[in-house]
Structure formats: C-alpha cells, structure tokens
Structure 1
C-alpha cells in the first residue's frame, strides 16, 4: 500500500480532513522536545488549526531517546493521522504542522543550531516527568542524575532536555538574540515554575551569570493540557490505512475532548492559540491542580487497581460499578475539597471525566497508564493526601491508590505472575517487594523508604502509614476486586 505523503493528500477520501494551507509556505516558529503521541494529538493539532493564517509557526520536533517518531514520519513528509474515536465512530484528520523530526542523539548540533535561530520563539516540552531529571518529591534538579552529570561536564553536547535548552539559550545570549519562551506541556504541578527552577539551576551550575540570565530574562509559561491518548496498536494502523486509503506508520488514536490552558507569558511572540480553542489565563495553577488531582490521580488509581483486578482497559475497569463508585467518591469527597476554583463547576468536570473514562472506543490500557508511577505519584496523589492530612480529613480512597501502586510496583500480580513494570525505579522496587508479598507491614516500610517518592514527611505520619498497611494487606490477601468492594461499602476513613 502507498505511504501517506504530501503527494497523496489530494487523493485521500473526501471525508478525511486535510491541511487547509500550503505546507511549502510554512516556516518553523516552535521547537518541540519530546515529540511523542500526546504532543501529536494535542499541541500539533492546535497549531495545525492556525497555520493557514499564521504560516510562521510550524513545528520542528525533537526526540531525545529513540528515533522511532522520526523513522515513522520522515517517509511521510511529517504527516500523520489523528483518529478521533467515540461510541459514534471514528473520524480521521491529517495533521501537517510538524515540518521535521530531529533525532537529538544523531543530530544534536543541528538541533541546537535550530533552537538558537531567531525564528524559533517557543521551545515546548512533553518529555514526561522523568525527562526533567528532577526529584519528583521536591521538584528540584537531581544533580546526581547521569544525564545532568554528563551535561555539566559536556555543556556544548548535552543529552538532557535542561541541557539542550540551556546550551541553546547560551548561544542566543552570546549572539544577542532574544531568548525563546520555554513552555512545559507535561503533567507537573506548576509546570512552568518547575521548568524554570530546574533549567535555571542547571544554568547556574554551568555559569553563575548564565543562571541569572535564565532566571531573569527567560519566560516559562505554565500550561494545563488534557487529552487521553492510548498507545497505537497494529490493529489501529490497519483501521487507519483502510480509512484513508494509504499506509500511516504511526497514526494517533484519541478522544473528542481536548483542553489547553496557557499562561499568557510570551515576550518574544506566540501564535493566537486562543483562535484554535486554547484558554489564555494569568494563572494556570488552579487548572493544573484540578487536572492533576481529578483526572490524573483518578486515572492512576484506576490503572493500578484495574490491572491487578485483571482489567485490560480503563473503560473495562470503570464499567465495574464498584470501581466507578470508588472513583466518583474519591473525586467528590477527597479531591474536590482540596481545590479552590470559584466559578468552576467541579461536579460537571467530575461527571465529564467519568464519561471520558467510560469511552469504549478508546481502549486505553491500564498497563500503559501504570508506567513511571514513581515519577507520577507525588503530583497525582501524594500532594492531595498531604492536604487531607493537614485538614484532618479522610483519605482512604487516595491511600488505596497508593497501596495499589505499591502492590503493582512490587512486580508480582495476584496470580503469582511477573508484572512488566516500566519505571526508572523498577529494579529497586522489585528488590523491595521480594519476599514481602505476605507481609504488608514489611512492604509498606520498604516502599515508604523511597524518599524521592514519599519525601521525609509522609513515612512519619502514623495514621497514613497504618491505613496504607491495612489496605496493602487487603490487596495482598483478598485481591483488588474484593478490596474495592470493601472500601466502597465501608465507613469513611
């Protein structure tokens, strides 16, 4: 079958939406680091909507770890399909906003040259929590991280996202070129402030004057991003090929819902994101908290409990009445009281989330969401737990999410089979779980010793520790299904 490409656009079926602009006239204004599935389902679509009237905001993508995306998109002239799925069917759209993908490992100097060019006014990131080379519990740069150690020793040949950004900014400063804005689109609390703290600290470790320049002159607008994007399967590729009449090596499957809230802080210019449906605000933090705690916290809880209970997808998990009630009550009773968002209907947001989780066409795998839990838990669950502890309020459902993560991360499922745990701390966690599967107290003690996850405070909160041990014991001895039923029907705790 013929591959998707510029030459094939006019031959695509009439019901497939195509770029409404001349791609040859598009020039880059954004470099995006971490060009994975989420970026292509989210930011790349917003930019695609704007290029007809604003052709100087095309995207140059960069992959830090693997050339997979480059290998898939290069033969397709950067084009790819976004397939939007719900119960009513699937709608395909071809996105043309990505002009090129650069493999940072093989083309590092070329990437830095592009980032240092005046036409690049925004560098955005979706590198996941672990890509920031930070301590998730504190949010500070991890100066012992192997990539950071390398980049400080080899500042002009960096491997990490902070290293690349700082080297490009240093080159712009030396050439008298205004700095680009650094826009984090990752699920981090206060992601703009977090990115600024990490990048500024790295710059200061390189050179004190450079650190002051980054801290004082570079804008780090915060964002809140939201769209559910499952991993693409071979079945998905076959479906898209049939729908568009040609092969797409890496289409993106997603839901109809999309949201982007952006702090309006771009001294060197930006596209009119609001014309594509984004919301520009002065302070994005309340929206970040709402999304991280209600959507991401619930998603993680569903993924660990659902996987342990034998459910392959989120929609299968939430179709179980007890699991749906658990998540509804967790959001209503334990998460929403920690949010301060006057004018926002949190009940409606909760109901919309439950409807999105229930989308049977999305097939979002619990195992996929479960990845990198050690990096995600501090933002998604533990901050909310801290707020509930401080307020002296119940948090049993939130704590169950943490217990389910520990049970999952220990590496053995309820049938005694090995779990393929994908996490930067996977080896350590597997070691911690060895021999502790019949002793919840020992397992809790071992995992609470992960200071980079739990900090120094939570392990010393006796009520939290005891509740965690109790719930772990239930998961170990009764299983996830029975434990969820017990919590749903039990007293507040």
Structure 2
C-alpha cells in the first residue's frame, strides 16, 4: 500500500497566499480544512506555507507525504450523523526556520502572501527579552512573536505591503496580545519608528475565537482506515463536523477569506466577547461542572455523562436554568447554540475523558462558571445549585478525599496543601482570593450551601445529590 503523495492531488497547486505558524492537528483540521473548502469552489485559489514554530515538529512527516493528509469528520451535526473523509491539499510546503532561515525570510518576499495564521499554544504569544535577531538567524530557539517580528521586519525593509495577521491561540484578545509583543521586540531591537508605524498602519491584527473539537490521530483505528481508503497516512487527523470561526476586526477580511461564501460558519464582528462568553459559558461551563461530579460518580467520559439519565438532566438543567438566562445574548441564539453543544457532547465517535477536563480546575471554575454564578445570584437573589455542587465537588477532591490526582498549577496546589485537612478547610478555600479572584464567602449563603453539599458528597455520593436536585425542579 502506497503512502499519500502528489499523485493523489485533484486540485491545482495554487500559489502561496498563507503563512501558517504551526503544523499540529488543530490548524490542519481547522484552518487548512477551511482553505480546502474554499479552493474546491474556486473561491480562494491559494496555498499554505507551514512554518514549524518549535525546533522539534512534524514538518518532515508532512513533507514525506508531499504535505497531503486526511481529515476524518465524525459526529452529529444538525441532528444527522456525519462520517466522511477528505484528502486535504491546502499545504504547498513547509519551512523549518531553525535550519532554513533563508527559506523562511523568502516568505516575506512573496507578494502573493496576504494572511498569517498561528496556533502555538496559549504560551506561544509571549515576550522573551533574551530573543535577538542574531539568535533567530543562527537557528537558536526563540519565541513565535520574535520569529514573526523578524519576518515582518524583512517585509518592511523590502517596502512591501503588510499582512492580515490572525492568531488562533486560545487566549482572550489574542490579536492585541500578539501585536503588543511584536512592538516590544521592535523596541528591544531598536527597529525604528518607521517600522513601528508600518506595523500599526500597514498590517491588520485580528482577535479570534476558534471552536472545533479535534481529537487528532485516530491511533486505535488507523490501520483499518488505511485499508478502507487504500493508502497509508501517518498524518491523518480526526475532528468533529461542527466548527465556528469568530474574527474580531476589519470586515474586509471577508473579501480576503471568502469563507462564508464557501459555507463555513464564520462570524466577523466588532466585538467577539459575546461569542467568547457564549462558548465559555455553554460549552466550557458544563464541562467544568460535569468533570468532578461525574468522576465522583464513577463516570469517565463526557459521552457517559450525556448517556446517563440523571446526569443528562442535571447538565441540561444547568445549561437552560442557570447559564442561558444570565448570558447577555439573544435567548434564541443561545438555545440554538446549546442544542449544538449537546450534540457535540453526545458525539459517539469522541471519547472525551472527564479526567482531561480536570486540568487546572480551579482557574477553569473561576473563568468559566464564576462569572455566571455571580450573574445568577444578582438576577435571582439565590444560589445556582448545580454550579454550587460542582464547587463542593472540587473542594472535596482538592482536600484529598478521592483517589484522583490533583493536576493544577504549582501555586494552586501549594495553596491547597496549606489548608488540606484543617478544621476550617472549606472557609479557608472559599475565602482565598488567590483561588477565585475574590472572597467567595462574601456571597450570602454560598459557604453554607457548599458545606452542605460537601458533607453530603461523603454521606450520599454525587449521584444521589444530583437526583435530589433534579427532583426539586
């Protein structure tokens, strides 16, 4: 059986229009898949040059298959089962800037390239004062913004137009953060006021919200899939059919990237925060609730939670009774989004582990549930029981009352170690602003209800508490 190679291409190899920092599963199943959809309809007619952001990466594996790979779509979309696969032909080539600096700089010389995408993890957009232009030229490890600044400076020196720069890292205001970091390097390296003006006036920076669950390489089925498809593919990537791409910034980007015309779920807006709040509240919020409560009841995956009568009702009620009423967006839009989220939670092809959702649980609760917790209390004058049970369950686990390991940041782990097993453990945990950003005991009744649920977890278990809350309403 032969590996994927150029003989499998069906589309023309279009000129480069995109630089992409990152060769991981997400960008290949999200950005490159979308470019494929535009190219199939003759709307974009552009290819991608992938830049490897770290000294180690997968560009060699991509090149071994002439940069082709398969995207496997599996899941439920609009109530219908989706199972399909497609060879993605968007990538024209790859560049390793650590070993191919001249080839990397040549990207700045290409007048056809208009757009830069990136996904270098949340830690990727960071400033390091030790980064220098010489280090980048010599192939030493450097940050993504530093490498991008070097590329932009070469583009500027050539007197060429700027780029549309669209980061996909999962941090709020990612476009603003990237631009700020680039300007820090411009100052550190004394690149001059003219370059700073060129960055500000000739380039468009966009902030984004990206949403698509990408489990990645389907290791357990890869051999069977290759036998079915008739070729080898070491870079295949599995993803759900749903996606949404929210871009904040100049609406001219719709002309540069005609994604809407290609049928892609793109939103270009002046303010992406309502969409971010929607995702964080309705997708991430229930994830954060079900993780401790479900695990304490012996459930292991999101799918098991949604297949369980008690827990499905509990999560459904949290969405519709505690979260949607307090998220500042039109109700019909939120209800429609929630329906899609439930389909994604129930996706039989994705085994999303509750243990994976438990990473950095305290900061997740603070970011994903606490804002709506406060909104709910302010609107109704009472406490949201489901979010409160989740809080009690986290405190139970972080007090060493379960067999689960605590996987959190060093400062959070250290903070809980100081109070673990103490008589005033619950008060000490809830009143610590380092955990939650404020003293939660100031919310009337919260400490009493958390204490009640905490004690009941030990006496009854989370399933019985879930059943009792379900029966109350």
**What TM-score do you get using the length of structure 2 for normalisation?**
0.80
Structure 2 equivalent of residue 237 of structure 1: 222
Superposition map of 1:250-329 within 5 A: 250-263=235-248, 265=250, 270-278=256-264, 279-283=266-270, 284-329=272-317
Alpha-carbon distance in structure 2 between the residues aligned to 1:388 and 1:34: 40
Alpha-carbon distance in structure 2 between the residues aligned to 1:98 and 1:411: 49
The root-mean-square deviation of aligned C-alpha atoms, in Å, is: 3.9
Structure 2 equivalent of residue 173 of structure 1: 156
Are residues 1:150 and 2:169 paired? no
Structure 2 equivalent of residue 4 of structure 1: 4
Structure 2 equivalent of residue 340 of structure 1: 328
1:180: Cα distance to partner? 1.4
1:177: Cα distance to partner? 2.4
Alpha-carbon distance in structure 2 between the residues aligned to 1:375 and 1:356: 24
Q: Which shows bigger deviation, 123-132 or 314-323?
A: 123-132
Are residues 1:120 and 2:109 paired? no
Q: Is the alpha carbon distance of 1:485 and 1:275 closer, same or farther for their aligned partners in structure 2, counting shifts above 3 Å?
A: same
Alpha-carbon distance in structure 1 between the residues aligned to 2:391 and 2:133: 38
Q: Is the alpha carbon distance of 1:483 and 1:98 closer, same or farther for their aligned partners in structure 2, counting shifts above 3 Å?
A: farther
Alpha-carbon distance in structure 2 between the residues aligned to 1:337 and 1:401: 19
Whether the 8 Å CA contact 1:37–1:229 is kept in 2: the answer is: yes
Whether the 8 Å CA contact 1:26–1:57 is kept in 2: the answer is: yes
1:4: Cα distance to partner? 2.2
Structure 2 equivalent of residue 140 of structure 1: none
Structure 2 equivalent of residue 57 of structure 1: 46
Equivalent position SS for 2:256: coil
Whether the 8 Å CA contact 2:98–2:141 is kept in 1: the answer is: no
Alpha-carbon distance in structure 1 between the residues aligned to 2:399 and 2:222: 31
The one-character-per-residue Cα deviations of 1:246-289 (angstroms, maximum 9, x if unpaired) are 22213222222222233462768723122222334333332222
1:83: Cα distance to partner? 1.3
Alpha-carbon distance in structure 1 between the residues aligned to 2:214 and 2:46: 24
Alpha-carbon distance in structure 1 between the residues aligned to 2:429 and 2:36: 48
1:100 to 74, 93, 101: 93
Structure 2 equivalent of residue 12 of structure 1: none
Superposition map of 1:3-152 within 5 A: 3-7=3-7, 9=8, 20-22=10-12, 25-52=13-40, 53-54=42-43, 56-65=45-54, 67-86=56-75, 88=81, 90-103=83-96, 110-111=103-104, 113-114=106-107, 117-133=110-126, 148-151=128-131
Equivalent position SS for 1:129: coil
1:291: Cα distance to partner? 1.8
Alpha-carbon distance in structure 2 between the residues aligned to 1:116 and 1:413: 60
Alpha-carbon distance in structure 2 between the residues aligned to 1:44 and 1:475: 46
User: Over alpha carbons, which structure has the higher Rg?
Assistant: 2
| Residue segments in structure 2 that go unaligned for 5+ positions in a row | none
Q: Is the alpha carbon distance of 1:59 and 1:458 closer, same or farther for their aligned partners in structure 2, counting shifts above 3 Å?
A: farther
Q: Is the alpha carbon distance of 1:334 and 1:204 closer, same or farther for their aligned partners in structure 2, counting shifts above 3 Å?
A: farther
1:175: Cα distance to partner? 2.9
Structure 2 equivalent of residue 384 of structure 1: 372
Alpha-carbon distance in structure 1 between the residues aligned to 2:250 and 2:100: 30
Whether the 8 Å CA contact 1:57–1:271 is kept in 2: the answer is: no
Q: Is the alpha carbon distance of 1:128 and 1:95 closer, same or farther for their aligned partners in structure 2, counting shifts above 3 Å?
A: same
Structure 2 equivalent of residue 137 of structure 1: none
Q: Is the alpha carbon distance of 1:266 and 1:173 closer, same or farther for their aligned partners in structure 2, counting shifts above 3 Å?
A: farther
Q: Which shows bigger deviation, 108-117 or 286-295?
A: 108-117
Whether the 8 Å CA contact 1:315–1:360 is kept in 2: the answer is: yes
Q: Is the alpha carbon distance of 1:325 and 1:439 closer, same or farther for their aligned partners in structure 2, counting shifts above 3 Å?
A: farther
The one-character-per-residue Cα deviations of 1:163-199 (angstroms, maximum 9, x if unpaired) are 3333333333333222212213344444444544555
Q: Is the alpha carbon distance of 1:63 and 1:295 closer, same or farther for their aligned partners in structure 2, counting shifts above 3 Å?
A: farther
Q: How many residues of Structure 1 are paired with residues of Structure 2 in the alignment?
A: 458
The one-character-per-residue Cα deviations of 1:471-492 (angstroms, maximum 9, x if unpaired) are 556557765444544554568x
1:43: Cα distance to partner? 1.7
Whether the 8 Å CA contact 2:44–2:258 is kept in 1: the answer is: no
Alpha-carbon distance in structure 2 between the residues aligned to 1:86 and 1:469: 40
Superposition map of 1:344-493 within 5 A: 344-371=332-359, 379-388=367-376, 391=379, 394-401=383-390, 410=398, 414=402, 416=403, 418=405, 421=407, 425=409, 427-434=410-417, 438=421, 442=425, 445=428, 451=434, 454-455=436-437, 457=438, 461-463=442-444, 466=447, 479-485=461-467, 487-489=469-471
